[in-house]
């Protein structure tokens, strides 16, 4: 846990890793043209060298930059912004393919996950119930819509070809007005985009990850006023979740959420970041085999 500092040409607004490198989504402002130029900033873990690749895209000089997502998935870098998806070479930072996305985006960062030759995209919290699936080998795309009910998808995870997602629903038709009473669920799509199962209304986690063939959730225990985060295991059939560990936090759980992506995995472990403006705690959880 020793700290080593490396200077970077630019600050990154999103970060991901793969194939021995760390990649940052770096934005360079062009005030005259009122745009941000988005570059891939590549840091080599082996020798500590950093490369700022050519601009891959540009977005309007405003809040649009806060609604982008950047992820290493299935051997490629993916940039999701403004109803467009870019497939980017991790070695050159150049755009290989462009895809048009018609799925709605929410009020925060959109979502990207990849597994077993497919990469999935969702608009994030407040976006609705649409997904975009891209077959990496062929470039074929498919838009998948959650049937039958309004939903706001705010979490995605893949494991061995399964796509799990967290969503809020009002139990009404998608064209009906949204009520103030929302229910919490976990859903699952097959690799082809067929809805396999949804859980009952339950206290689902705020983050979901796949580790060593199992699916786990992390989120506040009960309400935001509590001082513990729950780690849950998700039943592969019913999708019900069961608490397996509680992490005591130095403050209320929702005030220290570590940003938009406070949960990550490495090997067989789950890492949870609790961060505030003055302090941060990193938790390491090793789930049991059951």
- Does the residue 49 lie in any domain? yes
Tell me how far apart the alpha carbons of residues 25 and 81 are, in angstroms, rounded to a whole number: 12
- Does the residue 262 lie in any domain? yes
Residue 187, strand partner residues = 165, 198
- Does the residue 210 lie in any domain? no
- Does the residue 148 lie in any domain? yes
Do residue 138 and residue 83 come from a single domain? no
- Does the residue 209 lie in any domain? no
CATH number of 82's domain: 2.40.10.480
pLDDT at position 65? 76
Cα 258 off chain centre by:
13
Tell me how far apart the alpha carbons of residues 244 and 211 are, in angstroms, rounded to a whole number: 14
Do residue 123 and residue 83 come from a single domain? no
Which of 100, 119, 141 is the last residue in one of the domains?
100
Do residue 67 and residue 94 come from a single domain? yes
Tell me how far apart the alpha carbons of residues 63 and 174 are, in angstroms, rounded to a whole number: 28
pLDDT at position 3? 82
Those residues whose C-beta lies under 8 Å from the C-beta of residue 217, and which sit 6 or more positions away, are 166, 186, 204, 205, 206, 207, 208, 209, 230, 231, 232, 234, 241
Do residue 2 and residue 92 come from a single domain? yes
- The one-digit pLDDT tens for each residue of the chain (290 residues) are 688 888 888 888 888 999 889 999 988 888 777 788 888 999 998 888 898 888 888 777 666 777 889 999 999 999 998 888 999 999 998 899 999 888 888 777 889 999 888 999 998 887 777 899 999 999 999 998 876 556 788 889 887 778 899 888 875 544 555 555 778 889 998 888 888 888 888 877 888 888 878 889 998 866 677 788 889 999 988 898 889 998 888 877 776 655 567 888 888 899 998 887 777 889 999 986 55
pLDDT at position 70? 92
- Does the residue 207 lie in any domain? no
Per the structure, the count of domains in the chain is 3
Do residue 2 and residue 89 come from a single domain? yes
Kindly report the three-state secondary structure assignment for every residue of the chain: CCCCCCCCCCCEEEEEEECCEEEEEEEEEECCCCEEEEEEEEEECCCCCEEEEEEEEEEECCHHHHHCEEEEECCEEEEEECCEEEEECCCCCCEEEEEECCCCCCCCCCEEEEECCEEEEECCCCCCCEEEEEECCCCCEEEEECCCCCEEEEEEEEECCEEEEEEEECCCCCCCCCCCCCEEEEEEECCCCCEEEECCCCCCCCEEEEECCEEEEEEECCCCCCCEEEEEEECCCCCCEEEEEEEECCCCHHHCCCCCCCEEEECCEEEEEEECCCCEEEEEECCCCC
Asked if 146 contacts 187 with a C-beta cutoff of 8 angstroms, the reply is yes
Enclosing domain of residue 286: 215-234+243-290
Could you give the strand order of the β-sheet that contains 183-189, starting from the edge strand earlier in sequence? 151-159, 162-169, 183-189, 195-198
pLDDT at position 174? 47
Do residue 91 and residue 113 come from a single domain? no
pLDDT at position 89? 93
Nearest 5°: the CA angle 98, 100, 106 is 120
- Does the residue 208 lie in any domain? no
Model pLDDT for residues 14-63, shown as the tens digit of each residue:
889 998 899 999 888 887 777 888 889 999 988 888 988 888 887 776 66
Which of 58, 84, 100 is the last residue in one of the domains?
100
Which of 66, 100, 134 is the last residue in one of the domains?
100
Tell me how far apart the alpha carbons of residues 23 and 159 are, in angstroms, rounded to a whole number: 23
Do residue 115 and residue 83 come from a single domain? no
Do residue 181 and residue 165 come from a single domain? yes
Closest among 206, 227, 226, 201 to 216, alpha carbons compared: 206
pLDDT at position 148? 58
Cα 136 off chain centre by:
18
- Does the residue 109 lie in any domain? yes
Do residue 93 and residue 121 come from a single domain? no
Where residue 212 falls (left for φ over 0; alpha for ψ -120 to 50; beta otherwise) is left
């Amino acid at each position: 846990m020793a700290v080593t500092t490396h200077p970077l040409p630019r600050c990154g607004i999103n970060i991901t890793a793969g194939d021995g490198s760390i990649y940052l989504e770096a934005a360079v402002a062009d005030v005259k043209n009122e745009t941000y130029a988005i570059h891939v900033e590549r840091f080599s873990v082996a020798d500590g060298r950093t490369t700022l690749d050519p601009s891959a895209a540009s977005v309007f000089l405003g809040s649009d930059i806060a609604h982008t997502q950047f992820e290493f998935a299935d051997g490629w870098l993916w940039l999701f912004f403004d109803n467009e998806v870019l497939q980017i070479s991790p070695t050159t930072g150049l755009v290989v393919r462009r895809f048009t996305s018609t799925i709605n985006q929410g009020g925060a960062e959109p979502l990207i996950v990849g597994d077993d030759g497919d990469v999935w995209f969702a608009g994030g919290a407040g976006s609705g119930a649409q997904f975009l699936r891209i077959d990496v080998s062929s470039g074929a795309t498919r838009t998948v819509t959650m049937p039958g009910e309004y939903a706001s998808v705010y979490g995605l995870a893949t494991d061995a070809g399964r796509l799990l997602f967290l969503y809020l629903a009002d139990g009404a038709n998608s064209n009906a007005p949204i009520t103030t009473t929302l229910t919490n669920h976990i859903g699952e799509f097959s690799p082809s985009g067929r809805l396999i199962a949804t859980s009952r209304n339950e206290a689902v986690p705020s983050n979901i990850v796949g580790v060593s063939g199992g699916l786990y959730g992390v989120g506040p225990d009960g309400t935001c006023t509590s001082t513990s985060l729950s780690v849950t295991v998700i039943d592969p059939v019913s999708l019900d979740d069961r608490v397996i560990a509680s992490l005591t936090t130095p403050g209320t759980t929702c005030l220290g959420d570590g940003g938009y992506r406070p949960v990550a995995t490495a090997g067989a472990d789950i890492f949870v970041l609790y961060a505030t403006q003055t302090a941060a705690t990193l938790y390491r959880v090793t789930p049991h085999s059951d």
